[in-house]
């Protein structure tokens, strides 16, 4: 189950890094000023942090981490997809709203990993907060070249397929119950 959580976090970070890297270029192409792009990215991250507080509370209350990850990923997919199908303020609002759902799963992944490895919580946190994002960052070396070839919108759409694949994997993973009774 830990590998599946790490894969979910990897998928999250591949999309997150791509969006933070390329959306300023995309919005510049839509004639959005750089200061406004900074505000957009600030709101993207801030709403994601607020989403993390909400999903952390929901996880602590109901202990359904897989479902939280699946729902958040499922809600982020259409928001990011339609970000590129609309223009102006609608596109910006869809992007910022997508950040709320995308980033919100990070604390759930951390907590689930810690619950799986209660005797090695530091290692579990390191795998989720260090290893998975690190592998995603290495992947971005390749994806940078891919973005040059196929474009930002197409790259994000392919990454949304990766998110969808993660959702499907989580459906087929049998439930596990940790020593604290958390159902993953």
Residue 63 lies in a domain: yes
Q: Give the list of residues 6+ apart from residue 174 with CB closer than 8 angstroms, or none.
A: none
Burial annotation 83-108 (CB, 10 A radius, 16+ → b, else e): bbeeeeeebbebbbbbbbbbbbbbbb
Our count of domains for the chain comes to: 1
Per-residue model confidence (pLDDT) at position 1: 84
pLDDT tens-place values along the chain, 184 residues long: 889 999 999 999 999 999 999 999 999 999 999 999 999 999 999 999 999 999 999 999 998 999 999 999 999 999 999 999 999 999 999 999 999 999 999 999 999 999 999 999 999 999 999 999 999 999 999 999 999 999 999 999 999 999 999 999 998 875 544 445 555 5
Q: How far is it, in rounded angstroms, from Cα 76 to Cα 43?
A: 15
Query: Model pTM greater than 0.85?
Result: yes
Residue 182 lies in a domain: no
Instruction: Concatenate the DSSP letters of all residues of 109-122 into one string.
Output: HHHHHHHH-GGGHH
Residue 179 lies in a domain: no
- What are the C-alpha distances in Å from 36 to residues 33, 42, 136, 179? 5, 10, 27, 48
Residue 178 lies in a domain: no
Q: What is the CATH number of the domain that holds 157?
A: 1.20.1250.20
Domain that holds residue 109: 2-172
């Amino acid at each position: 189950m830990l590998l599946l959580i790490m894969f979910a976090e990897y998928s999250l970070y591949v999309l997150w890094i791509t969006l933070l890297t390329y959306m300023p270029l995309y919005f510049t192409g839509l004639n959005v000023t750089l200061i406004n792009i900074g505000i957009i990215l600030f709101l993207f991250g801030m709403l994601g942090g607020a989403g993390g507080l909400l999903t952390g509370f929901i996880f602590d209350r109901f202990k359904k981490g897989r479902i939280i990850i699946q729902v958040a990923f499922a809600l982020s997919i259409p928001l990011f997809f339609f970000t590129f199908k609309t223009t102006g303020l609608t596109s910006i609002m869809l992007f910022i709203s997508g950040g709320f759902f995308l980033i919100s799963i990070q604390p759930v992944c951390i907590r689930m990993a810690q619950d799986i490895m209660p005797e090695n919580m530091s290692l579990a946190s390191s795998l989720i907060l260090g290893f998975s994002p690190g592998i995603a960052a290495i992947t971005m070396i390749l994806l940078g070249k891919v973005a040059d070839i196929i474009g930002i919108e197409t790259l994000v759409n392919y990454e949304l397929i990766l998110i969808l694949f993660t959702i499907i994997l989580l459906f087929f993973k049998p439930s596990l119950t940790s020593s604290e009774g958390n159902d993953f």
